[in-house]
Amino acid sequence: MTSFAPPDKDQFMTIGILGGGVWGSALARVLSKNKVIIYARDENIVKSINEHKLNPKLKYSSFNDNVSATSTLKDIRKVKYLFITLPTQNIREVIKEPSLHNKEHHIIICSKGIEITSSKYLTEVFNEIMPFKSISILSGPSFSNEVSQGLPTAVTLATKDKKDFDNISKLIPNKEFRIYYSNDLIGTQIGGSLKNIYAIAAGISEGLNLGENAKSALISRSFAEMTRYAKKFKADKNTLFGLSGLGDLILTCSSTNSRNTQFGIKLASSKYDNFLDLLQSQEVTEGYYTVKAVYNISKKNKIDMPIMESVYNILYKQHDLKEELSNLLSRPITEEKI
């Protein structure tokens, strides 16, 4: 296991991380030149971080003395920078707690997904519930275990004010974690959310042993669907072709390290009458929830998304996997364009 030497105490900037999972802990290591406080509900995780400098969910990585944990929200109320790494569907419940609220917070959303109950992007949820000074989105191809080990990673940080990007970048002196600027908050959120749906489809393709040709075609056509969806919400096409769009899609669909891909593989390899046991057997599978929100949004806005719809039909209408595959292959032949 590796650890970082603590910096000079005069350099400390206190940072809060809302969420004690693997992603929050990986970011804590990236940010650990500063003082970092991780909020986690699980008292065992809090105890492990404080007493042993380890999160039992994050293998092969330890924290330095700058990182601590708490199960009390008010302990991170006064931090200037607050990174959000909670599962998307749990965010509203946590941030509505008044003891967390501080209008001086610079919020950095690192979670990926769309809220099911409201079909809202996370920036909209925060605007509705919680005061803040600025809000940003951190997204891109970034498996937590690789980030925590200091392996090279590049992501997008979307902010409306370039000064906020510059200030947040200074918190991350680690050259292996490279950040690129965007001012497209909606496009960055769309890419990070939708790619999880298509990773489930990629996993199903792999579980059915359809081959590498099929997976390549699936990723390409999934990207076409993502761009159609993003266009409806006036996202910048450059965002979709960048790290938080195409980059994240390729990583998530191509690797069995992806929880969503693993979920798809298991769906195709076994018979499940319901998916609760499978969902509970692994870390949060955001694509399962996001597809429900995207399905409703696409129907309301008349966006053609056949791969997404097939995933929805399998997960929420109990359609047969091979029947859905047959339906996709039977679609009329059209011009290829993005």
This prediction's pTM: 0.91
The answer, yes or no, to whether residue 174 has pLDDT greater than 90, is no
- Last-in-domain residue among 156, 183, 210: 183
Residues 164 and 200 in one domain: no
The rounded percent of the chain whose pLDDT value lies above 90 is 76
Residues 83 and 144 in one domain: yes
So what's the pLDDT on residue 141? Answer: 97
User: What CATH number has the domain bearing residue 96?
Assistant: 3.40.50.720
Domain housing 201? 187-329
Q: What is the count of structural domains for the chain? A: 2
Residue 251 lies in a domain: yes
Say how far apart CA 281 and CA 194 lie, in whole Å: 22
The long-range contacts involving 262-266, CB below 8 angstroms and separated by at least 24 positions, are 262/203, 263/200, 263/203, 263/287, 263/288, 264/199, 264/200, 264/201, 264/202, 264/203, 264/204, 264/205, 264/206, 264/207, 265/203, 265/204, 265/206, 265/207, 266/203, 266/207
pLDDT-derived band at 333 (thresholds 50, 70, 90) equals: low
Residue 109 lies in a domain: yes
Residues 169 and 20 in one domain: yes
- Last-in-domain residue among 168, 183, 198: 183
Residue 105 lies in a domain: yes
Residue 337 lies in a domain: no
Q: Give the active site residue among 195, 271, 299, 322.
A: 195
Look at the alpha carbons of 226, 202, 330, 273 in this order and tell me if their dihedral is positive or negative: negative
Kindly state the average pLDDT of the residues 94-113: 96
The rounded percent of the chain whose pLDDT value lies above 70 is 90
pLDDT-derived band at 280 (thresholds 50, 70, 90) equals: low
Residues 146 and 260 in one domain: no
| Six-digit token string for 169 | 């970048």
pLDDT-derived band at 10 (thresholds 50, 70, 90) equals: very low
Residue 1 lies in a domain: no
Residue 3 lies in a domain: no
User: What CATH number has the domain bearing residue 231?
Assistant: 1.10.1040.10
The answer, yes or no, to whether residue 11 has pLDDT greater than 50, is no
Residues 22 and 128 in one domain: yes
pLDDT-derived band at 281 (thresholds 50, 70, 90) equals: low
Residues 74 and 137 in one domain: yes
So what's the pLDDT on residue 319? Answer: 87
Residues 77 and 202 in one domain: no
pLDDT tens-digit series, residues 258-277: 999 999 998 888 765 556 66
Residues 179 and 260 in one domain: no
The answer to whether 299 is a known catalytic residue is no
- Last-in-domain residue among 183, 211, 232: 183
pLDDT-derived band at 322 (thresholds 50, 70, 90) equals: confident
Residues 322 and 205 in one domain: yes
Kindly state the average pLDDT of the residues 152-180: 95
Residues 175 and 218 in one domain: no
Residue 50 lies in a domain: yes
Residue 261 lies in a domain: yes
Residues 38 and 176 in one domain: yes
Residues 210 and 287 in one domain: yes
